Structure 1
């Protein structure tokens, strides 16, 4: 990088989530799950959600790791080893939920548990009874594995971010 070129912004914990490809994936995930699937349910709308989630989720895991390190007072610099671990963990868990009914059921209940506080808050605000904990809908479908290349987008975004951060003097691991 020459002296006349502007330096890229210094990464901060979770900054990979602000990459345009990741923001686009999140927007696609929301639109697809709340609009496209209702209006045009098809094989493709299921794959779009999976693809968008695979682009975003490893970087969300990495962001949580980075934020935990920052809160712990440790130095921060994007780590390629953390990134690769998050990508592999996402790929393995995703594959398990698409190949195994047991893993798929675990995912359904875990996501239902995470959504329950919002459902409960909405019900209480509307004066309704507290809703039961219910699992989300999930289909075990081996063809969803066709979306695994979405992990390469997350890997590329995080890899470049780690390379950019190495140009900052004083960056600590």
Structure 2
């Protein structure tokens, strides 16, 4: 597991964008993908808003995904395995990089065909708790023609990342603007934030 953590950290240290091609095992990614599809089939996912509990806009047009928050109280073994891996990564990150992360939050995200998320930052203006964004993709056989790339903007360039199965992306929530380009097929992920509260 440490090799996966090092892959994220090393690439993050190199250019501010951490990447790990198989952060999730194929088996775990398959189970989480099926969980997401079941939640959507049971109509338990809901349209995402913009903002937090203090400032919330449910009528926004900036993002087009549906979400469902992960919670240990759900007692789903695959979600628990994912959250355990996140906790191990946080422990490793704190020990090796002294980041002071002490909390996290994650949700399933489903972009239906024809949806996207316009350019934005993940950290709220009225709350600085989110320190790092961590995205894990759950898409089988994704190709460039499918769109839905994560586009991350740095000071002088941009990087396009395909949302392929098991891939993880890691970056500072307060620093990098990013967007999700128009998807031509349903696009699935677990998206979340490592926090200092």
TM-score over 0.5 (shorter chain):
no
TM range (shorter): under 0.3
Which is richer in helix?
1
Larger radius of gyration: 1
Greater percentage in strand: 2
Q: With structure 2 as the length reference, what TM-score do the two structures score? A: 0.24
